[in-house]
Structure 1
Amino acid sequence: MARKLWLQFSKGSLSQIMFKNGFDKFRSYLMHWPGSFESNVSNREIRAETWRALEELYKEGICKAIGVSNFLVHHLEQLKEDSGMVPHVNQVEYHPYQQPNTLIEYCHQEGIVFEGYCPLAKGQLLTDPTVRHIAEKNKRTAAQICIRWSIQNGVVTIPKSTKTERIRENCQVFDFQLDKTDMDALGKMHDGRHVTWDPSNIL
């Protein structure tokens, strides 16, 4: 019943958005969080129900791709056991302070695109001495260094800004390479911190 209501609501909402904006389908549609807001239902049950609804949207051609966000390995394993298909994408916090390499390896093995958000750690990395040193060495901004590092690690990276000059700056990262020394230095900065949500305690 929950899936039917969710699916009916999603179809209605998506249809309205497509009509208003002239879309014929959505490129991607994600389940944003692995936890449930309902205390009397298990997280796993809600994930499975929601994912089956997303599968229906995908099969009907409303969405070109479906995926999840903030899912860890055990969430993805359960989803694989409970449904017919794995997500096309998993969108997770990723930056030098937060490098979930085991999760990245798992996604690659399962054919799931790993997509990283918050590549600047909500601005915390812009003043980090290591990042600033590498930026000066390469004659680039600290933001460009962080984004380029993600790209060279094979991560689909989604920086966020509302300022035109920042958006332009964030796009100018394809005409240079960080050398091994720089990549290694940034790779050693992992300290496990989250600057957004931490899904570690979601069962």
Structure 2
Amino acid sequence: MKSLNDCYTLHNGVKIPCVGFGTFLTPNEEVCEAVKSAVKVGYRHIDTAAVYGNEVGVGQGIKECGVPREELFITSKLWNSEQGYETTLAAFEKTMKDLGLEYLDLYLIHWPIPNHHKDDWQELNAGTWKAFEELYKAGRIRAIGVSNFMPHHLEPLMKVAEIKPMVNQLEYHPAFHQDETVPYCNEHNILVESWGPLMQGKAFSNELLKEVAAKYGKSIAQICIRWELQKGILPLPKSVHEDRMANNADVFNFNISDEDMAYIDTLGKIGRLSEHPDNFNID
């Protein structure tokens, strides 16, 4: 990858810009300007979700950004409480109305096991995926995938899927490498995206990352994002500050050496910073 808008190619041939702009925790009243700033900086890949409560603002930012819709790659996600065939179809229509779009570039199942569904989550996933496949075949979505799915979540879905997932968006950062899930996805040609690439802000106080950043004359954020790109992962950094958006995108003029990549890898023993997908209990 040599620029912000170089692309990975999904297994259905759809191209996805190699760095995305995340909007998690950006309030609806702020996200319109954030999206416009991101597009101004050069981002063409915007990531949101129904549960973020900001799809209306994201859609307004897309409308006002001055870049044609077809030059943008827009992702949203189905929330847990809407899993199931009919409810997925209805939730998708609400997302499209809120975003003000005619099609999505990527739609993801947000978490594998909805709260209170420990016993029937596989059936819910199957019904949800059936709806995803129908929307995909109808041209309403250009690519479909999942988020926070581990191999034991993916395997039952893959058994019933006519169209296998194209993307899996995971917690992935220098402190947590998803050592089981990433190889599984690579084996099945499922692109891995990273949410929380800056360790949910904890990267900025990490002494090892400070050391590596100083060595390269780069910011800690740039080191984390570059490390992910060199791993073949698609990072989704977020900010509401245009200067930080630009800094996060300026990661194509240097390479981290193999030795320093391995040094950063030693942080992996810290592990997961968020909820385990098997125990995600938010309605």
TM-score of the superposition, structure 1-length normalised? 0.90
Give the SS at the match of 1:190. Answer: helix
- SS of 2:131's partner is helix
1:131 has 2:202 as partner: no
- d(CA) in 1 for partners of 2:128, 2:230: 33
Aligned counterpart, 2:97: 16
8 A Cα contact 2:176 2:271, kept in partner: yes
Q: Give the aligned partner of residue 249 of structure 2.
A: 171
2:152 paired residue number: 74
Larger Cα-atom Rg: 1
| C-alpha deviation, 1:84, in angstroms | 1.3
Could you tell me which of 147, 160, 180 is aligned with 1:102? 180
**Counterpart position of 2:15:** none
Structure 1 position 93, deviation (Å): 0.4
Cα deviations across residues 127-160 of structure 1 (Å, max 9, x unaligned)?
1111000000000011110110000111011111
- Change in 2 beyond 3 A, CA 1:200/1:38: closer
Identity %: 33
Question: CA offsets per residue over residues 72-130 of structure 1, 9 Å max, x none?
Answer: 01111110112212111000000111101221111111111111111111111111111
Alignment of 1:29-178 (within 5 A): 29-39=107-117, 42-178=120-256
Shift in CA distance, 11/180, structure 1 to aligned 2, threshold 3 Å: closer
Does structure 2 retain, via aligned residues, the 8 Å contact 1:6–1:53?
A: no
Give the Cα separation in 2 of the matches to 1:7 and 1:188.
Answer: 40
Structure 1 unpaired stretches of 5+: none
| Number of aligned positions between the proteins | 198
1:6 is matched with 87
**Following the alignment from structure 2 to structure 1, what is the Cα–Cα distance between the partners of residues 147 and 236?**
13
State the secondary structure of the residue aligned to 1:92.
Answer: strand
- Displacement, 1:37? 2.8
Asked if 2 retains the 8 angstrom alpha-carbon contact of 1:93 and 1:118, the reply is yes
Distance 1:100 1:59 in 2: 31
Task: Let me know the Cα RMSD of the aligned residues.
Answer: 1.9
For 1:120, give the aligned amino acid. L
State the secondary structure of the residue aligned to 2:268: coil
Residue pair 2:85, 2:130 contacting (<8 A) in 1 also: no
Offset of 1:161 from its aligned partner?
1.1
User: 1:7, CA displacement in angstroms?
Assistant: 4.1
Q: Cα distance, 1:181 vs. partner?
A: 1.6
Q: Alpha-carbon deviation of 1:38?
A: 3.9
Q: Distance in 2 between matches of 1:105 and 1:76?
A: 13
Residue 14 of structure 1 and its aligned partner are, at CA, apart by 4.1
* Higher mean C-alpha deviation, range 78-87 or range 90-99: 78-87
**How far is 1:36 from its partner?**
2.1
Unaligned runs of 5+ in 2: 1-82
Write the distance in 1 (CA, Å) between the matches of 2:271 and 2:232: 21
**Matched residue type, 1:88:** M
